[in-house]
């Protein structure tokens, strides 16, 4: 089968398009999926580069967000049938994550435990469905379950043009919150404005903290000024300024750190302003099904920047690595 194969960690060129990569074996209780769409995530870049402390089984077909059609089921599978349109919940609690512990979606076929298969509503495309688990379901858990976003909140979203970032903007606007989006170019800010973002900060040209103060006010110990909820999945030295943007009693939520995992916090602001620092790890199945429901009733649709053929995987990863994307990139094997 055709597949984009990672045989050794390193640069983009290490991803090889192979026409005769072996099809995955079907295990008891599993199903074979003809992949129709797989979306990119920053996690894929970390897998390609190599993640400290995590050994991946090379050669590996990366890709964890996968939508497709069931073409074969093994004996004893009662939850799925040939012809079903399905989204794969990437996490298998016994095996790990597809695209990391076993071959994923950048191929014509993949396999998954039948318990991981989530039906796709008939009016939701494979491309839209493939954007949901690692970005939109993760954002839903972070914003709604952990962050408790409310309609009267002022929300600042760092890295707002990425997959998780655009999802956070849309989820905040869905409940009526005021959104301040941070992005690296004016073009991205204009696209975020079209999604409903109320204010924009170009962090390449503006100081985020000072720009935030101009919009939401400088936080005061008496409770005035500052943002209610700040989304920081960036890391890389940004936490000190983040806490300086938050109102007394404000919440900071994070589900990752695309610019670096080590950071600093001036904890004087944490205790003085009674901040809550909230971690959010991945998604639950209910987050996936909720986002599929939103896509089905058109109340919230994932933002897709580009749909590209598998053969253009190098360009797709380059666009993501150089942060030239607003939303998600989808590959079609």
Q: Which CATH class is domain 3-131+302-332?
A: alpha beta
Please report the pLDDT score of residue 170 as a whole number: 98
User: 21: pLDDT confidence band, cut at 50, 70 and 90?
Assistant: very high
Please report the pLDDT score of residue 235 as a whole number: 72
Question: Is there a contact between 253 and 280 (Cβ–Cβ < 8 Å)?
Answer: yes
Please report the pLDDT score of residue 280 as a whole number: 95
The CB density around residue 15, as the number of other CB atoms within 10 Å, is 20
Question: Residue 291: CB partners within 8 Å, gap ≥ 6?
Answer: 132, 136, 137, 140, 300
User: 259: pLDDT confidence band, cut at 50, 70 and 90?
Assistant: low
Predicted TM-score of the model (pTM)? 0.94
Please report the pLDDT score of residue 59 as a whole number: 96
Dump pLDDT digits (tens) for 154-212. Answer: 999 999 999 999 999 999 999 999 999 999 999 999 999 999 999 999 999 999 999 99
Q: What is the CATH number of domain 134-279?
A: 3.40.50.720
- Three-state SS for 311? helix
User: 136: pLDDT confidence band, cut at 50, 70 and 90?
Assistant: very high
User: 91: pLDDT confidence band, cut at 50, 70 and 90?
Assistant: very high
Backbone dihedral angles phi then psi of residue 219, each to the nearest 5 degrees: -60, 140
**pLDDT surpassing 90 at residue 76:** no
Counting residues of the chain whose pLDDT is more than 70, the rounded percentage is 99
Question: Is there a contact between 96 and 113 (Cβ–Cβ < 8 Å)?
Answer: no
Helices 313-321 and 42-49, packing angle to 10 deg: 100
Extents of the domains making up the chain: 3-131+302-332, 134-279
**pLDDT surpassing 70 at residue 294:** yes
pLDDT, the chain, mean? 94
Please report the pLDDT score of residue 308 as a whole number: 98
**pLDDT surpassing 80 at residue 114:** yes
The CB density around residue 144, as the number of other CB atoms within 10 Å, is 17
H helix or E strand, kind and range, residue 15: strand 15-18
Of the listed ranges 49-53, 162-166, 253-257, 259-263, the least confidently predicted one is 259-263
User: 311: pLDDT confidence band, cut at 50, 70 and 90?
Assistant: very high
């Amino acid at each position: 089968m055709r597949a984009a194969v990672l045989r050794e960690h390193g640069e983009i060129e290490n991803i090889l398009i192979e026409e005769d990569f072996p099809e995955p074996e079907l295990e008891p209780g599993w199903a074979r999926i003809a992949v129709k769409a797989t979306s990119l995530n920053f996690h894929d870049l970390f897998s390609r580069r190599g993640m400290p402390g995590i050994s991946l089984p090379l050669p590996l077909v990366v890709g964890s967000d996968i939508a497709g059609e069931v073409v074969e089921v093994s004996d004893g599978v009662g939850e799925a049938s040939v012809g079903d349109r399905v989204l794969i919940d990437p996490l298998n609690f016994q095996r790990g994550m597809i695209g990391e512990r076993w071959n994923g979606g950048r191929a014509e076929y993949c396999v998954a435990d039948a318990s991981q298969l989530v039906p796709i509503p008939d009016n939701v495309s494979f491309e839209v469905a493939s954007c949901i688990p690692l970005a939109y379901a993760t954002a839903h858990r972070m914003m709604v379950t952990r962050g408790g976003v409310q309609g009267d909140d002022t929300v600042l979203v760092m890295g707002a043009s990425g997959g998780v970032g655009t999802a956070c903007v849309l989820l905040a606007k869905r409940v009526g919150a005021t959104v301040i989006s941070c992005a690296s170019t004016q073009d991205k800010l204009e696209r975020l404005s079209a999604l409903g973002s109320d204010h924009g900060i170009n962090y390449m040209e503006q100081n985020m903290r000072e720009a935030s103060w101009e919009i939401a006010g400088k936080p005061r110990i008496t409770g005035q000024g500052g943002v209610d909820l700040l989304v920081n999945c960036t890391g890389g030295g940004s936490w000190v300024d983040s806490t300086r943007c938050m109102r007394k009693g404000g919440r900071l939520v994070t589900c990752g750190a695309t610019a670096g995992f080590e950071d600093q916090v001036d904890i004087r602001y944490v205790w003085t302003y009674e901040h809550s620092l909230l971690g959010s790890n991945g998604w639950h199945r209910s987050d996936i099904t909720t986002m599929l429901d939103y896509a089905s009733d058109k109340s919230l649709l994932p933002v897709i920047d580009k749909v590209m053929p598998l053969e253009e995987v190098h360009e797709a990863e380059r666009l993501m690595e150089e942060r030239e994307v607003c939303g998600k990139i989808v590959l079609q094997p």
